[in-house]
Amino acid sequence: MSTASQAVNVLNFLPEKERAAIRAGVSTYDCTMGIQAAIDSSSKVFIPSGVYLVKQLDLKSGLELYGEGSASQLKAYDNSLQCEFMMVTHIRDGGTKLVADNMRNIHLHDFLLNGRVDEFGYMQYFYLLAVNATSDMRVERVTFHGFRGDGMYVGSGTLHDTERHNQRIVVRDCLFDGLIRANRNGLSVIDCDTLTVEGCTFQNIGNAKLSSSVGAIDFEPDHNWGVYRNISIRRCKFIDISSVNTAGITFFNGHQTGDNIRGWTVADCEFVNCYWGIYGATKPKTKADPPDDLTIVNCNFVNSIRYDVFIGGLSNTQISGCTFQRTPPGSGPGGDAVRLGTYVWKASDNAVRAVVTGNTFVGIRPQMGAIGIYGANDVVCAGNTFIDIRGACLSFAMDDTSDKARKIQNVVISGNVARRAPQASGVSRGVMSFLSTSNEMRTVKAALSLGESYEYDNEVEDGITKIAAGSAIQFLGR
């Protein structure tokens, strides 16, 4: 067996007099050069349990780097710029824009990266793992602990105008813990064709001093040549992503020029105490524009502070088999479970081809409705169950927008159930309606006619108002 294929132990590349202190977690020695030498010497590198103070470590193709779980800790050496990237594949203008030239076949597993945010505080561009111009990387059972900027950055280089592309990245069974919510993102994706995030937990991530596009997983391409497509996020947990304007997952399609940005699935995930669960930040679109193809299935949203799912102007969205819940019922400041469409920067973003089917909504206290339809073209809301909604199950906006582009049309409301749960003694549930109209997020008395739209076979329990008092809603059909 060649030396390059044998596993090497990083301790053997560090001074013998430091090894006991490293294993005990009390060493102040800079381990960077020794661990880098181990990486350079072999394709398989073992990190025994201990605390290793490091600056930047450069990865390479064909590398397996692994430890003994969270007991093997790589810890930021200090607060200097030398610790900006703890692990990195390419920096600055490394690599090329051709994926054939990518670094590839890297397996990282079973260790902990500690950015020391609780000691050093927020720093936007300090990443624990920076991945650029890389194909076929697996990151498994890695703990991203106390990151100052992003935990893991899947980018197109570390210079703003560098075009680089990533392919087939897998992040599985990892923990992203921001500790004190003074971070940027757990996982930031600038460019990746085929990304799998599976079985991961994201918690305590956010930053109240920053704007939106901050949270657990953030998709934010910077240029029209950016790619993110074939995205699969499954069996993940998003817990306490609760700072103002933070989201469990943010999808941004502002640089979509064709099929470079599309095809996202979120399945069997749990969102608990998030400001937003899933947020779709988007540009105005029409039916003729390239579709986004977002599928959200079998997810559970509990006690989101604002929206559970905000679609904005995304196109071809399916939300099915999910549960949206506030516990106790009616708690929180109030926000829709699902919001379709928005009006920002004086532009209307209408949701295009949205299907909301087979979901359960419990105890929601909405701004508009449990499903708030602000602007949408082609909507199907069918087979959903609404229980103890503190307001309207479905609400249609009447707002006037300066661009006159907000519209609601081609709506089908069918086969839904609206009912009450058995009432607990002394609990007030307020007025529940199945349909209503709203303006500026408030229920208003208004008349609305919906072209090419239908409402039929909905089961509304006695005592629940079919259409909110003062509203008149006509479904005109064709």
Distance CA 308, CA 363 (A): 13
Compute the C-alpha angle 134/138/141, nearest 5°: 140
pLDDT at position 4 = 47
Burial of residue 70 (number of CB atoms within 10 Å: 0-12, 13-18, 19+): middle
Compute the C-alpha angle 97/98/103, nearest 5°: 95
Helix (H, G, I), strand (E, B) or coil at 62: coil
The whole-angstrom distance between residue 30's C-alpha and the CA centroid of its chain comes to 35
Distance CA 275, CA 332 (A): 11
pLDDT at position 376 = 95
Using DSSP, how many helices (H) and how many strands (E) does the chain show?
A: 3, 46
What dihedral do alpha carbons 9, 10, 13, 15 form, nearest 10°? -110
Contact 96, 134 (CB under 8 A): no
Token pair for residue 113?
Answer: 């990266």
The whole-angstrom distance between residue 381's C-alpha and the CA centroid of its chain comes to 24
Helix (H, G, I), strand (E, B) or coil at 312: strand
Distance CA 163, CA 190 (A): 11
Parse the chain into domains and list their residue ranges.
303-478
Mean pLDDT by 10 residues, the chain (478 residues): 70 98 97 98 98 98 98 98 96 92 97 98 96 98 97 90 95 97 95 98 93 85 93 98 94 92 97 96 86 97 96 95 96 94 90 97 95 96 97 94 93 97 66 92 82 96 92 88
Distance CA 44, CA 65 (A): 6
Contact 217, 198 (CB under 8 A): no
